[in-house]
Every structure is written in C-alpha cells, then in structure tokens.
Amino acid sequence: MEKLAAMFKWCFGCHHGQLSRVFTIGGRTYRVCCNCGVQFDYSLESMSIKRELRRPMARLYPASSQE
C-alpha cells in the first residue's frame, strides 16, 4: 500500500520545481518550495538539500468549520 501511495504522490504531487533562495534564520538553513510551501533542510557544506523538513501549516491543520 505504501508503494501505491508513493506512486500517486509522485504522479500527482508537487515536484518542487520552484525553490526559494537559501534562508538562514535562527541557526537553521533551509529552502522552501514556492508552489506548495514544503521546507527542505539545506547544507552549506555540500551546497545541497539534505531532506524535507516540514509541510506548511495549512496542510498539517486543515480549516475547521465554525460552529
């Protein structure tokens, strides 16, 4: 099932083609996808992306309905 989910994510998800410049804020260095907002840890030593850090808050906490 995980392979199927990964295939759908690759086919229909964001391919992170438009990345921001490198930011270093609070001792953390990262780049952000301008399309979906995913943050990627960035290594200044190797000048490359290390790994995906976190998804934007909108995806973590979907809008709740007002009562």
Contact between 55 and 37 under an 8 Å Cβ cutoff? The reply is yes
Residue from 25, 30, 26 nearest 50 by CA? 30
The whole-number mean pLDDT for each consecutive block of 10 residues of the chain, a chain of 67 residues, reads: 78 84 91 90 87 54 47
CB of 28 closer than 8 Å to CB of 9: no
What are the boundaries of each domain within the chain? Answer: 14-55
3-state secondary structure of 40: strand
What integer pLDDT is reported at residue 67 of this predicted model? Answer: 44
| pTM beyond 0.75, yes or no | no
Looking at residue 17, its pLDDT comes to 83
